[in-house]
Amino acid sequence: MGWPEPAQRVVIDTNIVLDAFVFADPATLPLKAALAARQWHWIATVAMRDELTRVLSYPKIEQRRAFYKISAAQVLAQFDAQASLVDVAAKASVTCRDPDDQKFIDLAIAHQALLLSKDKAILCMKKRLLKLAVRAQAAIKFDGASDAKIQNKQQPFAAKAQL
């Protein structure tokens, strides 16, 4: 799939993927709009897809999927349709205290991508990541139909789309 430049590369942590494609959280509408408009180019690895597959089978997530009437296959189809799989990145010079989150950091640094996560272990690294040309954020806001902006809030997608 070809991506028009200058699409912002973005790495999306599993918790944000769940908010967008399982819980249908309205606060993720700006993210979904940016992906659909190809303003952002979502990059991921096979390990990230595998993590999503594993998390989708957790009992609490299975209950939520049943409530929202969405199958794991439907969520994975969304991932497959929107994320571009890339090679695993080399270990970055910074280390996350949560080893499960390191793959997201490594990929974001390798591709100088925006990193979207609600995980405190990632968000507490914002200053260190910024020195490596990576913004770690939990929220986005749209100021216009084609203007995706990042918010510096540690609340998940706190701003609503203003389309």
Residues 74-108 have pLDDT tens digits of 999 999 999 999 999 989 888 888 889 999 999 99
- Return contacts of 141-145, CB within 8 angstroms, 24+ apart: 141/30, 142/30, 142/33, 142/34
Question: Please, which residues have CB within 8 angstroms of residue 75's CB and are 6 or more apart in sequence?
Answer: 17, 21, 22, 52, 56, 65
Q: What is the pLDDT of residue 6?
A: 60
Q: How large a percentage of the chain has pLDDT more than 70? A: 81
In the numeric block, which tokens belong to residue 145? 């139909």
pLDDT digits (tens, 9 = 90+) for 2-31: 444 567 899 999 999 999 999 988 888 999
Q: What is the pLDDT of residue 73?
A: 98
Domains of the chain listed by start with CATH number: 8-151 (3.40.50.1010)
Indicate whether 161 pLDDT > 80. Answer: no
